[in-house]
């Protein structure tokens, strides 16, 4: 029978709660902090700055800086989040043993480091899982954890897919429709800095075809009510920079914008912006006698992109007392999700993304897209409403997760 390594923390053989994990993490953190502070206090010349400590112990300054920064914190979870790993800490204690540090203090620090290693190996599995567990209780730690790993996914998928974009923009507007119960919508989609990283990789972007009818609603281009023909594109050329590198082909009710096969590298990057007006797409109230249904928009992250700006502007006469909710889905297994399908709840992803209600000035600006204010102004002029009549909800995401569907949903009220 394999023997277990000695530890002051009992090994757990059954599932435990996040609260119990946090208790164990705090216990290890407090023991580490106390014992390491005692060891460092015994060094000649203490207290020492990071560079002085690195020089005295003959260690890397990054290690000593991180250690002292962790020991300066008060919250045990923050201490553990910033603390170096067990092996670097062992190097610190071994280096400190060369000086006149009491043996019992060194032994206490070694036991605390051993408990730290046991916590990682036997209870959590890795340092990444420790950071994920801490992130449940510390929003700042969670954001740093998610940002690091989302950026890693972005870099990997950019290389594997061979395509990347600088900025993804989905900007939608909800306004009173033609009928008393109708809500119409504008949807503007943009990929900025879209480029191929290596030859032979297909790069495509889709929009609807202007003039078609889909179910109960009709779609026309924001740039004009063109007939449903091969040329009925929803492309907004005044906001795009496709040049000779983009071809347009119709595929049923979709218009496909394809980057030419020989367009490779930064000099062939393009901006593609489309605008669609959807008439009769939503209703002001829930259908009487029917289950409640949500309405809204989704951003599908099917191209690796550095940033996403997801705006939904709602006219003051549309759902005035309704605030949106944000729902994220994993589309890898079962494809695009309908938020009204409760069977897809198990595909939800728990990330720290959020919705902000913006003032008029902030709502007109996207740092990566200087033409955005003009785009919004032209959209409002086309549908015949003033910008000030809308409230703007924004979800801003750095390195949105590839293969993720981000939904901003509204629950229309019952009819008074």
- Whether 266 has a pLDDT exceeding 90, the answer reads no
- Structural domain includes residue 198: yes
**Same-domain status, 112 and 202:** no
- Whether 19 has a pLDDT exceeding 90, the answer reads no
**Same-domain status, 190 and 246:** yes
- Using 50, 70 and 90 to split pLDDT, how confident is the model at 18? low
- Structural domain includes residue 366: yes
- Whether 10 has a pLDDT exceeding 50, the answer reads no
Structural domains of the chain, count: 2
Question: Can you tell me the distance from the alpha carbon of 391 to that of 363, in angstroms, rounded to the nearest whole number?
Answer: 9
pLDDT digits (tens, 9 = 90+) for 269-320: 899 999 999 998 999 999 988 999 999 999 999 999 999 999 999 999 999 9
Between residues 266 and 275, the one the model is more confident about: 275
Question: Can you tell me the distance from the alpha carbon of 290 to that of 212, in angstroms, rounded to the nearest whole number?
Answer: 28
Assign residue 399 a region (left: φ > 0; alpha: ψ between -120 and 50; beta: otherwise): left
**Same-domain status, 236 and 357:** yes
* Residue 162 neighbours by CB under 8 Å, 6+ apart: 196, 197, 198, 200, 201
**Same-domain status, 241 and 378:** yes
* Residue 166 neighbours by CB under 8 Å, 6+ apart: 192, 193, 194, 269, 305, 306, 307, 368
Q: What percent of the chain has pLDDT over 90?
A: 64
- Using 50, 70 and 90 to split pLDDT, how confident is the model at 17? low
Cβ–Cβ under 8 Å, residues 197 and 258: no
**Same-domain status, 313 and 186:** yes
**Same-domain status, 187 and 97:** no
**3-class DSSP state for residue 381?**
helix
- Whether 180 has a pLDDT exceeding 50, the answer reads yes
Per-residue confidence (pLDDT) for residue 315, from 0 to 100: 97
**Same-domain status, 86 and 180:** no
Judged by average pLDDT, the poorest of 150-154, 159-163, 210-214 is: 210-214
CA 297-298-299 angle, 5° bins: 135
**3-class DSSP state for residue 406?**
strand
* Residue 19 neighbours by CB under 8 Å, 6+ apart: none
Compute how many other C-beta atoms are within 10 angstroms of the C-beta atom of residue 171. 26
- Structural domain includes residue 149: no
User: Which of 137, 172, 199 is where one domain is finished?
Assistant: 137
- Structural domain includes residue 1: no
Cβ–Cβ under 8 Å, residues 99 and 15: no
**Same-domain status, 171 and 129:** no
* Residue 152 neighbours by CB under 8 Å, 6+ apart: none
HSE (side-chain half, CA atoms, 13 Å) at 345: 3
pLDDT digits (tens, 9 = 90+) for 389-398: 999 999 999 9
The token pair at 312 is 């939904």
- Using 50, 70 and 90 to split pLDDT, how confident is the model at 16? low
- Whether 231 has a pLDDT exceeding 80, the answer reads no
Cβ–Cβ under 8 Å, residues 404 and 276: no
- Structural domain includes residue 145: no
pLDDT digits (tens, 9 = 90+) for 119-159: 888 877 788 888 887 776 777 778 888 999 999 999 999 99
- Structural domain includes residue 151: no
Cβ–Cβ under 8 Å, residues 390 and 313: yes
Name the residue among 226, 232, 222, 224 with its Cα closest to residue 188. 222
The token pair at 276 is 């669609």
- Using 50, 70 and 90 to split pLDDT, how confident is the model at 109? very high
Cβ–Cβ under 8 Å, residues 313 and 365: no
- Structural domain includes residue 192: yes
The pTM score is 0.74
**Same-domain status, 358 and 243:** yes
Strand order through the sheet with 246-251: 204-208, 254-259, 246-251
User: Which of 120, 137, 154 is where one domain is finished?
Assistant: 137
Per-residue confidence (pLDDT) for residue 15, from 0 to 100: 53
163-176 vs 305-315, strand pairing mode = parallel
Beta bridge partners of 169: 190, 309
Helix or strand holding residue 65 (H, E): helix 61-71
* Residue 247 neighbours by CB under 8 Å, 6+ apart: 257, 258, 260
pLDDT digits (tens, 9 = 90+) for 48-88: 999 999 999 999 999 999 999 999 988 888 888 889 999 99
Give buried/exposed letters for 225-237 (b at 16+ CB in 10 A, else e). eeeeeeebbbbbe
**Same-domain status, 114 and 178:** no
Question: Can you tell me the distance from the alpha carbon of 310 to that of 299, in angstroms, rounded to the nearest whole number?
Answer: 7
Between residues 376 and 253, the one the model is more confident about: 376
- Structural domain includes residue 10: no
Between residues 356 and 262, the one the model is more confident about: 356
**3-class DSSP state for residue 339?**
coil
**Same-domain status, 247 and 358:** yes
- Whether 4 has a pLDDT exceeding 50, the answer reads no
State the residue range of the domain holding 331.
164-410
**Same-domain status, 267 and 346:** yes
């Amino acid at each position: 029978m394999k023997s277990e390594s000695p530890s002051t923390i009992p090994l757990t053989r059954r599932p435990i709660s996040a609260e119990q994990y946090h208790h164990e993490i705090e216990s290890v953190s407090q023991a580490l902090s106390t014992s390491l502070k005692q060891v460092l206090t015994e060094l000649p010349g203490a207290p020492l700055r990071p560079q002085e400590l690195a020089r005295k112990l003959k260690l890397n300054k990054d290690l000593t800086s991180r250690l002292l920064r962790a020991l300066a914190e008060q919250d045990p979870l923050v201490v553990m989040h910033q603390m170096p790993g067990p092996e670097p800490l062992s190097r610190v204690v071994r280096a400190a043993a060369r000086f006149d540090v009491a043996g019992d203090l060194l032994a206490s620090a070694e036991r605390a480091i051993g408990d730290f290693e046991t916590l990682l190996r036997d209870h959590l599995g890795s340092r990444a899982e420790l950071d994920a567990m801490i992130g449940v209780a510390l929003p700042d730690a969670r954001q740093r954890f998610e940002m690091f790993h989302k950026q890693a996914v972005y870099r990997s998928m950019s290389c594997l897919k061979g395509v990347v974009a600088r900025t993804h923009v989905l900007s939608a507007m909800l306004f009173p429709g033609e009928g008393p119960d109708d809500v119409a919508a504008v949807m503007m989609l943009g990929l900025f800095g879209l480029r191929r990283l290596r030859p032979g990789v297909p790069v495509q972007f889709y929009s609807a075809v202007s003039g078609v009818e889909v179910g109960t609603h009709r779609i026309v281009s924001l740039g004009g009510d063109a007939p449903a023909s091969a040329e009925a594109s929803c492309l907004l050329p005044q906001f795009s920079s496709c040049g000779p590198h983009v071809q347009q082909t119709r595929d049923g009710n979709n218009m496909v914008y394809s980057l030419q096969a020989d367009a490779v590298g930064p000099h062939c990057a393009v901006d593609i912006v489309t605008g669609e007006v959807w008439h009769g797409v939503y209703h002001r109230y829930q259908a009487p006698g029917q289950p409640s249904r949500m309405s809204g928009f989704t951003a599908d992250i099917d191209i690796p992109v550095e940033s996403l700006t997801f705006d939904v502007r709602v006219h003051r006469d549309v759902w005035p007392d309704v605030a949106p909710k944000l729902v994220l889905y994993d589309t890898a297994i079962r494809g695009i999700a309908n938020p009204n399908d409760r069977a897809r709840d198990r595909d939800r992803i728990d990330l720290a993304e959020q919705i902000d209600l913006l003032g008029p000035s902030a709502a007109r600006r996207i740092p990566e897209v200087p033409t955005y204010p003009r785009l919004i102004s032209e959209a409002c002029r086309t549908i015949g409403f003033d910008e000030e009549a809308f409230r703007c909800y924004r979800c801003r995401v750095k390195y949105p997760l590839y293969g993720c569907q981000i939904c901003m949903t509204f629950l229309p009220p019952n009819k008074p």
